[in-house]
Structure 1
Amino acid sequence: MTKRIVVTGTDTGIGKTVFSAGLAGLLDGFYWKPEQSGLNEETDSEVVARLSGLPDGRVLPEVYRLTMPLSPHRSAEIDGVAIEADDLSFPVLPTPLVIEGAGGLMVPLNRQTRFIDIFEQWRLPVILCARTALGTINHTLLSIEALRARSIPLIGIAFIG
Structure 2
Amino acid sequence: MRYVVTGTDTGIGKTVFAAALTRALGASYWKPIQSGLLDGADGETVAELGVEAVLPEAYRLTEPLSPHRAAELDGVTIDPAKLVPPTDDPLVIEGAGGVLVPVTRELLYADLFARWGLPVVLVARTGLGTINHSLLSVEALRARGAAVHGIAFVGDANEDNEATICAIAGVKRLGRLPKLDPLTADSLAAAFAEHFRIEDFQ
Please give the range of the TM-score, normalised by the shorter of the 2 chains: over 0.9
Aligned to 2:115: 121
Aligned to 2:192: none
> Which among 137, 158, 165 is matched to residue 143 of structure 1?
137
Query: TM-score by structure 1 length?
Result: 0.93
Deviations 1:14-33 (A, max 9, x none): 11100000000000110000
Structure 1 residue 132, shift from structure 2 partner? 1.6
Structure 1 residue 54, shift from structure 2 partner? 3.0
> Which among 82, 97, 102 is matched to residue 108 of structure 1?
102
* 1:81 equivalenced with 2:79 (yes/no): no
Matched to 2:136, the amino acid is L
Structure 1 residue 150, shift from structure 2 partner? 2.1
* 1:65 equivalenced with 2:63 (yes/no): no
Query: TM-score by structure 2 length?
Result: 0.75
Secondary structure in structure 2 of the residue aligned to 1:138: helix
Aligned to 1:34: 32
Structure 1 residue 147, shift from structure 2 partner? 1.6
Structure 1 residue 151, shift from structure 2 partner? 2.3
Structure 1 residue 62, shift from structure 2 partner? 0.7
Structure 1 residue 155, shift from structure 2 partner? 1.1
Which residues of 2 match residues 17-32 of structure 1 at below 5 A? Answer: 17-32=15-30
Could you list the runs of 5+ residues in structure 1 that have no partner in the other structure? none
| Structure 1 or 2: more helix by fraction | 2
Looking at structure 1, the residues matched to 35 and 22 of structure 2 have their Cα atoms a distance apart, in angstroms, of 21
Deviations 1:78-108 (A, max 9, x none): 0000011111000102x31000000011000
Matched to 1:121, the amino acid is R
Matched to 1:75, the amino acid is A
Looking at structure 1, the residues matched to 69 and 34 of structure 2 have their Cα atoms a distance apart, in angstroms, of 12
Secondary structure in structure 1 of the residue aligned to 2:152: strand
- The structure number with the bigger radius of gyration is 2
Return the structure number with greater relative CO, CA threshold 8 A, min gap 6. Answer: 1
Aligned to 2:8: 10
Count the aligned residue pairs: 155
Aligned to 2:51: 54
CA RMSD for the aligned pairs? 0.9
Secondary structure in structure 2 of the residue aligned to 1:40: helix
Identical-residue share of aligned pairs (%): 62
Could you list the runs of 5+ residues in structure 2 that have no partner in the other structure? 156-202
Deviations 1:109-134 (A, max 9, x none): 11101101110101100000011221
